[in-house]
Amino acid sequence: MAAILSVSGSPSPTSRTSRLLRHLDDRLRAQGHDVTPFDVRNLPAQALLGADFKHPAIVAATELFERADGVVIGTPVYKAAYSGLLKSLLDLLPQYALTGKTVLPLATGGSTAHVLAIDYALRPVLSSMGASHIVPGWFTLDKDIAPDDHSTPIVAPATAEALAQVTDLFSVALGGKTGVLRRTA
């Protein structure tokens, strides 16, 4: 099965985006994938903001991208686009860091006014970095994600099915099989 890097670009210590990704990580693991969770906020700020390409943590992050077959990129919508934190990491990766990789773009936000932020903001950046296949993404309203790890469900039923579908399409694109798609095939 595929090696997947699951990247959250939220700076928040109580991030709904991260909670959503970790929830989907479990689904991907259940389908047999090897998933590495990665929160950009854990990288040293000085390295990110000082464009320290050679910092060991930035080098290690670059290697995680190199080793991945598939990458989940999750970001909160900030000011109608992806987070500055996510961009600060993408800027330090090689220009074609996503070459040959399958990418699942995900966003969370407070308003459906920005439901297209994935397509007009995030997708072009991922494409410019060489992603070979960017599967359909999904925008999730923050109110539909549990406020903490102890609440259930993690994702409201209204959006859970759509998230499962895009996650399963990503899995299939990576050569995986899913229970959901097998049932509907």
Ligand X SMILES: Cc1cc2nc3c(=O)[nH]c(=O)nc-3n(C[C@H](O)[C@H](O)[C@H](O)COP(=O)(O)O)c2cc1C
DSSP symbol at 34: E
Q: How far, in Å, CA of 94 to CA of 183, rounded?
A: 40
Nearer to ligand X, 20 or 174 (CB): 20
Q: At closest approach, how far in Å is the CB of 59 from ligand X?
A: 26
Nearer to ligand X, 2 or 19 (CB): 19
**What track of x and - describes contact with ligand X for positions 116 through 155 (by CB under 6 A)?**
--------------------------x-------------
Q: How far, in Å, CA of 110 to CA of 99, rounded?
A: 32
Select from 47-55, 93-101, 105-113, 176-184 the region that touches ligand X (CB under 6 A).
105-113
Select from 7-15, 52-60, 96-104, 165-173 the region that touches ligand X (CB under 6 A).
7-15
Closest CA to 177 of 36, 27, 74, 21: 27
Which residues, numbered 17-76, are part of the site for ligand X (CB under 6 A)? 17, 76
Q: Which two tokens stand for residue 88?
A: 């600060």
Question: Coil, helix or strand for 94?
Answer: coil
| DSSP calls for 9-28 | ----TT-HHHHHHHHHHHHH
Question: Coil, helix or strand for 167?
Answer: helix
Q: At closest approach, how far in Å is the CB of 76 from ligand X?
A: 3
Chain positions contacting ligand X, by CB under 6 A: 10, 12, 15-17, 76-80, 108-111, 114, 142
